[in-house]
Amino acid sequence: MKSLFRAAKATPQAFSAVRAASTKACVLDKIGDINMRDIDISEPFTSRDVRIDIKSVGICGSDVHYYQHGSIGPFILNDPMVLGHEASGVVTEVGADVEHLKVGDRVCMEPGIPDPHSKWSRSGMYNVDPKVRFWATPPYHQSLLDDPAWANGHGCLRPSVVHPADFTFKIADNISHDVAALVEPLAVGMHSCTKAQIKPGDIAVVVGAGPIGMLTALTALASGCAKVIIADPAQAKLDVCETLASPGKIIGAIVDPSNPDGLRQQVLDATGGDGAEVIIECSGNPHAAAGAAELAAPGGCIVWVGCPTPFPIDLGHQQVRELRTEAVFRYAHMYPKSIALLESGALNIDPIITDHWTFDQSKEAFEYMCNPPDSTIKSIIHVDQ
C-alpha cells in the first residue's frame, strides 16, 4: 500500500498489517442521514502510530455542513463517513518508534495528515498539500481514493482511533479534555494571527462571532492587540465574547444587515477615525467580506478565514490603503504553540463550550446544531462517558 509515515521505517518487525475492525461510530450515511451504528474501519498501525481512546469531540461547522449539504467545495460525500475532527483522548498503545508519547498520556490530535514527501510539505505549507488526509473530509485526490485505509475519509466520532504520533500532542493536566478538543479551531485563530503579523498595540476587528471568531479574538489579544472589536448580528454571542477577557479588551459590535455602513462607523469610532490595523474575516458572509477593506487603517492587513460564496469586491478600497491580504486554510505547525498558550493560562475558552452531549446523543446533537439558538456556541460530544 502506498503510504506516508509508514514507508520510511517500515520493517517486518515495525510494520503491522492493516487492522479491519467493526466499531460503533457516528456515521453520516448520506445527506441528512446520520446513524449511530457499527461500521468496518481499516486502519494500519505502524511503528510511528499511536492508538487513542477518544474522550471529547467538538462539533464543527464543517461537520454540520456535510450533514446538511453532503459537500464542501471539491470534497463530496460519496460513501458513508464517520464525522468529527476536533478531538482529545488518552493514548492506549504506542508504536515501537514513538519516543514522545506513552500509554496513559492525555493528548489532542491534529486531524490533517499531509504527505511528508510532497513539495508543499517540504516547504512548510503542509496544510495546502492536496494529498492531506483530513478527518471527516471526503477524499478527492486520486491517491487518497486509491488508499483502502483512507477511501472514506472517516473522522473520529468513534471510541478509538489510530493516528500518527507526529500529529498527536500531549496536553498538561491543567487542560481539560473538552478544551483540548478545541485546540483544532484554536489553531485556525493562531494561524490567522500569525499571518496577520500582529504587533503590540494593534487594534483588530474580527468579523463573525462563531467559535473560530471567538478563538481568533482571544488569540489576537494574546498576540499583543490592545483591543479587539468582534462583529456579529447576534447580541447573545457578543455578550459571551465580552466575558472572555477583562473589560474593554473585547468589544462587541452588533451588525445590522439592513445598515451596511453601521459596522464601519463603529470601527471608526473605536479607533479614533483611523480604522483597525488588522481585519480577520471569519463570517464567510459575502457582504461582510466585501466591506472588510473599509474597516482597515492604511497599511493594514485583511486575513480571509471564512469561506464566502463568490462575491464582487472593490479592490480600490484595498489599493488606496495599501492593504496586505492573507488567506488561511486550516493551519500548519500551530498545535504546539496553541497548547503552550493554553497551558500558560492566557486564553479563557471555557465559556465558548456551551452544550454537552453523550456519544449516544450524537445524532440529536447534530440535529440541534443545524439550527441552534444564538446562545449556543460550541457543542461537545463526550465519546467516553
CB of 193 to Zn ion, least distance (A): 17
CB of 86 to Zn ion, least distance (A): 5
> 60 or 229: whose CB is closer to Zn ion?
60
> 45 or 66: whose CB is closer to Zn ion?
66
What is the number of other CB atoms lying within 10 angstroms of the CB of residue 361?
17
Number of residues that bind Zn ion (CB under 5 A): 2
Site for Zn ion in 216-275 (CB under 5 A): none
d(CA 300, CA 318): 9
Give the binding range for Zn ion (CB under 5 A) out of 34-42, 60-68, 259-267, 334-342.
60-68
CB of 61 to Zn ion, least distance (A): 7
CB of 292 to Zn ion, least distance (A): 22
What is the number of other CB atoms lying within 10 angstroms of the CB of residue 140?
15
CB of 63 to Zn ion, least distance (A): 7
Indicate the helix (H) or strand (E) that contains 126: none
CB of 21 to Zn ion, least distance (A): 26
> 54 or 253: whose CB is closer to Zn ion?
54
Give the binding range for Zn ion (CB under 5 A) out of 22-30, 53-61, 113-121, 305-313.
53-61
Q: Is 183 in the site for Zn ion (CB under 5 A)?
A: no
Alpha-carbon torsion (128, 134, 136, 141), positive or negative: positive
> 255 or 353: whose CB is closer to Zn ion?
353
Q: Give me the 79-118 binding string for Zn ion, x by CB under 5 A, dash otherwise.
A: -------x--------------------------------
Give the binding range for Zn ion (CB under 5 A) out of 54-62, 119-127, 193-201, 348-356.
54-62
Q: Which amino acid is at 259?
A: N
CB of 123 to Zn ion, least distance (A): 24
> 180 or 251: whose CB is closer to Zn ion?
180
> 60 or 297: whose CB is closer to Zn ion?
60
d(CA 22, CA 154): 13
> 45 or 304: whose CB is closer to Zn ion?
304
DSSP string for 259-325: -TTHHHHHHHHHTTTS-EEEEEE-S--HHHHHTGGGGEEEEEEEEE-S-PPP----HHHHHTTT-EE
Q: Which residue has the cell 464525522?
A: 83
Residue from 60, 221, 228, 295 binding Zn ion (CB under 5 A):
60
DSSP 59: P
d(CA 148, CA 146): 6
> 187 or 241: whose CB is closer to Zn ion?
187
Residue 257 buriedness (CB in 10 A; 0-12 / 13-18 / 19+): exposed
Give the binding range for Zn ion (CB under 5 A) out of 39-47, 56-64, 254-262, 271-279.
56-64
Alpha-carbon torsion (77, 81, 83, 85), positive or negative: negative
Give the binding range for Zn ion (CB under 5 A) out of 59-67, 238-246, 265-273, 321-329.
59-67
CB of 136 to Zn ion, least distance (A): 9
Grid cell locating 197:
503579523
Using CB positions, name the residue nearest to Zn ion.
60
Burial 49-76 (b: 16+ CB within 10 A, else e): bbbbebbbbbbbbbbbebbeebeeeebe
CB of 330 to Zn ion, least distance (A): 9
R_g (Cα) of the chain, nearest Å: 21
Grid cell locating 288:
461582510
**Under 8 Å CB-to-CB from 324, ≥6 apart: which residues?**
300, 301, 302
Which of helix, strand or coil describes residue 215? helix
Site for Zn ion in 320-349 (CB under 5 A): none
> 187 or 240: whose CB is closer to Zn ion?
187
Site for Zn ion in 187-226 (CB under 5 A): none
> 192 or 266: whose CB is closer to Zn ion?
192
- Residues at the contact surface with Zn ion, assessed by CB under 5 A: 60, 86
